[in-house]
C-alpha cells in the first residue's frame, strides 16, 4: 500500500493548517485532506507537482510504499 507522508512534511515545514497549504500551493483543502488521510484512489500529477515544488522535495518524500501484509489461507 502507499502511505502518505503529508503530515510529516507539514510538520517539518511548520505548516499548521490545510488553509495555509492551500494558499501556498493552490491545492484545495479537500484534496489536501484526502491525501493527508490516505483517502481516494490516486493523486493527480499537477497536485503532486505543486506539493513537491512547495516543499522542495521529490514524490518519495510525500509517499511511502509499505508492503501489504501476507494474506492468510
- Domains in the chain, ordered, with CATH? 2-65 (1.10.260.40)
pLDDT tens digits in sequence order for the chain, 73 residues long: 899 999 999 999 999 999 999 999 999 999 999 999 999 788 999 999 999 999 999 999 999 999 988 887 5
Residue for cell digits 500529477? 45
- Tell me phi and psi for residue 12, to 5 degrees: -60, -35
Cβ burial of 22 (10 Å; 0-12, 13-18, 19+) is: middle
pLDDT at 73: 57
Contact 27, 51 (CB under 8 A): yes
Amino acid at each position: 500500500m502507499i502511505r502518505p507522508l503529508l503530515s510529516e512534511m507539514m510538520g517539518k515545514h511548520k505548516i499548521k493548517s490545510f488553509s495555509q497549504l492551500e494558499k501556498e500551493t493552490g491545492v484545495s483543502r479537500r484534496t489536501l485532506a484526502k491525501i493527508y488521510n490516505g483517502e481516494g484512489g490516486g493523486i493527480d500529477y499537477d497536485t503532486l507537482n505543486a506539493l513537491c515544488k512547495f516543499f522542495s522535495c521529490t514524490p518519495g518524500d510525500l509517499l511511502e510504499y509499505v508492503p501489504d501484509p501476507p494474506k492468510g489461507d
